[in-house]
Amino acid sequence: MFRGSIVAIATPFKENFDIDFEAYGRLIDFHLEQGTDGIVPCGCTGEAATLTHNEQEQCVKFTIERVAGRVPVIAGTGSNSTREALSLTKYAKEAGADGALLITPYYNKPTPAGQILHYKTIAEQVDLPIVLYNVPSRTGTNMLPETVAELSKTPNIVAIKEAAGSVDQVSAIRSQCGITVLSGDDSLTLPMMSVGAAGVISVAANVAPAGVAAMCSEFDKGNLAEAQRIHYELLPLFKALFLETNPIPVKAALWKMGLVKNVLRLPLTPMRAEMLAKLEPVLGQLAAV
């Protein structure tokens, strides 16, 4: 159902830290023009942690209306509170989202049994395709392949964004169930696709949407050499976008591209000058190819 290059879209802010919906619309249009296969509003890259629930709902609604059915919209609706995640997921369904991306509950670090009950509770109450999101570096806990396999038995749990940084983990998931796997690490997208992933929910697609989409498409068409060429062309960008905490470098890159203001909500701050000096030549090289 979900495959190719799906962008975890950044949330633009004005100088007063309100959401800049004019810039948001430009970003969405940019992706539709550049071949992005799907859009995730209110993910980690969208600074969901500092958005109010009302703002999350506004962003989801705005994205769905702007996209107007041209590509799937997978709303970020995760929380470490099952009740909150359920409420946000219900809203995504009502607003017309094509799916919901739910991060593994963070900070309270549930056991596998708690993870299973968390996701099943939401999936059973909201008839919407659910994408699990495993990112241990953010949440403090890893969702085991056995847990994913058990959750995949729930009909509307259809995919997982796998960001544990391990191709072995993708292999283990794919060996135990048929759930769709989407890479959560841009630099591992191509290796993960080689063992069965269907694409990526991407940070780098914010900056190079056509390139990330082409890499996924060329692999799907069996053009491995071309997919590899694009991978290596984009590899410096994949790495540079994590010189500081995501989405600090993404916001800096989009600012340099003239698409957003370089504004983040505290506790995130704009990219330090010495790190920006490392990012700028990567962006310049990208523009030259």
Cβ atoms 285, 279 nearer than 8 A: no
Q: Measured between alpha carbons, how far is 207 from 211 in angstroms, rounded to an integer?
A: 9
Residue 161 annotated to the active site? yes
Roughly what angle, to the nearest 10 degrees, separates helices 21-34 and 209-220? 30
43, 118, 122 from 147: Cα distances, Å: 22, 12, 16
Q: Measured between alpha carbons, how far is 214 from 35 in angstroms, rounded to an integer?
A: 8
- Written as six digits, the tokens of 157 are 């749990």
DSSP single-letter state for residue 76: E
- Name the catalytic one among 161, 232, 239, 251: 161
Nearest alpha-carbon partner for 184 in 160, 212, 152: 160
- Written as six digits, the tokens of 124 are 């059973």
- Name the catalytic one among 24, 119, 133, 251: 133
Query: Which residues are designated catalytic?
Result: 133, 161
